């Protein structure tokens, strides 16, 4: 145990403390919520001499803020912004017992995204305890709640910062990017589509109107004509937009003609697209085929795409620290977009590989974790 580095030991402790988003567990489940991990983060940050505070978000759930003051007056601000919550299953109870072997730390959240929490905090600790620190840039660690469900933590922080007039030069949102600097990610629109028919006895189907059959035509239109249309719409870092029919529910039993059928649709958007655009496109497609479909949103808040200028001088500083010549894009949605929508230029960066996130054997390379802490330390020490 003593042979493990400080950042590996910190991550092991974070993984051992469950912080499953409450949306994924039954009410009252002791594994739900970020409070325990928030306490670990607060204790570590306080021990490093950082100024710790909390930002209320939802009942019993708060963002953790840890502030590193510059050597002089504050003229700039940078956020280090990973999320504290995790998904639950599969294999949750086993993954709450972290293990370190063969260069991997295994456990729920090791990759997504407690690895970023540990790397960012360790970098802050090093800068706070010794050596040069930024002359005029305040560094604010924000451990955010609820990324895995509604992104309430990032939305709340952006709203508070805007209301208080706090200008931020850059937010580095922690996600497993293999230490690539990500300046673009896709947005996400979820829609519910419903077809309505007329019930009848299964022995006399001609007396009814089959809503499942109508929906089959809707699905075929989405997965062929609409999919092909989206493939012609591309972004240099993100490729093309996509559509996926994720669930379908219709009918009650074999001998009744179904009078209702519902599907859920995931539409990944590119910069410049939003829910209104998607609804108009889908509505026009269905109307052109003579299909009568009701469309309703499934999300309570917008999830837009992210696009940050790679030439932003603060982004360039991170690229130099990470020793990257170009930025990249990712297909998933994360807290970067809500922060950017609130006026905070944002990128995504962190150790680990998204391919390991949410899996039965979630893990992170300890070498990637340690390199991540080194990159962030290098970035912080070079800030003005």
Share of the chain above pLDDT 70, in %: 99
* pTM for the whole structure: 0.93
- Residue 300: which pLDDT band, with cuts at 50, 70 and 90? confident
Note the residue count of the chain: 384
Residues 94 and 26 both lie in one domain: yes
- Has residue 209 been placed in a domain? yes
Mean pLDDT of 266-286: 96
Residues 146 and 218 both lie in one domain: no
Mean pLDDT of 249-266: 97
Residues 64 and 170 both lie in one domain: yes
Residues 228 and 258 both lie in one domain: yes
Q: Rounded distance, CA 362 to CA 90, Å?
A: 10
Radius of gyration of the chain (CA): 23
- Has residue 1 been placed in a domain? no
| Structural domain of 153 | 6-185+305-381
Domain with 249 in it: what CATH number? 3.30.70.360
Assess contact for 365 and 352: CB atoms under 8 A.
yes
Domain with 371 in it: what CATH number? 3.40.630.10
Residues 119 and 57 both lie in one domain: yes
The tokens for 337 are 């977009």
Count of the separate structural domains present in the chain: 2
Assess contact for 318 and 172: CB atoms under 8 A.
yes
pLDDT at 4: 87
Residues 197 and 249 both lie in one domain: yes
pLDDT at 1: 43
Residues 90 and 109 both lie in one domain: yes
113 cis-preceded (ω within 30 degrees of 0): yes
pLDDT tens-digit map of 190-244: 999 999 999 999 999 999 999 999 999 999 999 999 999 999 999 999 999 999 9
Residues 38 and 178 both lie in one domain: yes
pLDDT tens-digit map of 119-161: 999 999 999 999 999 999 999 999 999 999 999 999 999 999 9
Residues 17 and 151 both lie in one domain: yes
Residues 191 and 213 both lie in one domain: yes
Q: What is the mean pLDDT of the chain?
A: 96
Cα–Cα nearest to 34, from 149, 167, 176, 120: 149
90 cis-preceded (ω within 30 degrees of 0): yes
Q: Which is it for the CA torsion 75, 372, 323, 173, positive or negative?
A: negative
Residues 169 and 275 both lie in one domain: no
SS3 6: helix
Give the DSSP H/E element, type plus range, for residue 239: strand 239-240
């Amino acid at each position: 145990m003593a042979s493990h580095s400080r950042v590996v030991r910190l991550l092991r402790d974070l993984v051992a403390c469950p912080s499953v988003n409450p949306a994924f567990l039954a009410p009252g489940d002791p594994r739900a919520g970020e409070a325990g991990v928030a306490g670990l983060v607060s204790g570590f940050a306080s021990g490093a001499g950082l100024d710790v505070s909390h930002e209320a978000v939802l009942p019993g759930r708060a963002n953790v803020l840890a502030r590193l003051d510059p050597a002089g007056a504050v003229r700039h601000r940078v956020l280090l912004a990973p999320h504290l919550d995790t998904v639950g299953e599969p294999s949750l109870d086993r993954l709450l017992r972290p293990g370190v072997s063969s260069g991997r730390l295994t456990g729920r959240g090791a990759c997504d995204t407690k690895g970023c929490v540990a790397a960012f905090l360790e970098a802050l600790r090093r800068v706070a305890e010794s050596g040069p620190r930024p002359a005029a840039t305040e560094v604010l660690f924000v451990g955010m709640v609820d990324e895995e469900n509604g992104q309430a933590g990032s939305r709340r922080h952006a709203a508070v910062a805007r209301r208080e007039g706090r200008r931020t030069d850059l937010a580095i949102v922690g996600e497993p990017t293999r230490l690539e600097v990500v300046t673009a990610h896709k947005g996400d629109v979820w829609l519910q589509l419903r077809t309505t028919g007329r019930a009848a006895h299964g022995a006399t189907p001609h007396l009814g109107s089959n809503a499942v059959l109508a929906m089959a035509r809707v699905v075929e239109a989405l997965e062929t004509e609409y999919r092909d249309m989206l493939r012609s719409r591309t972004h240099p870092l993100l490729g093309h937009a996509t559509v996926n029919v994720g669930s379908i529910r219709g009918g009650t039993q074999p001998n009744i003609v179904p009078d209702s059928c519902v599907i859920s649709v995931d539409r990944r958007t590119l910069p410049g697209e939003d829910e209104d655009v998607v609804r108009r496109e889908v509505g026009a497609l269905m109307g052109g085929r003579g299909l009568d479909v009701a469309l309703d949103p499934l999300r309570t808040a917008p999830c837009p795409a992210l696009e940050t200028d790679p030439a932003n001088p603060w982004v360039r500083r991170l690229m130099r620290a990470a020793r990257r010549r170009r930025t990249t894009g990712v297909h998933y949605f994360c807290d970067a977009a809500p922060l950017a929508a609130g006026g905070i230029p944002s990128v995504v960066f962190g150790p680990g590989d998204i391919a390991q996130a949410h899996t039965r054997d979630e893990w992170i390379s300890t070498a990637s974790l340690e390199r991540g802490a080194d990159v962030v330390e290098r970035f912080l020490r070079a800030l003005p």
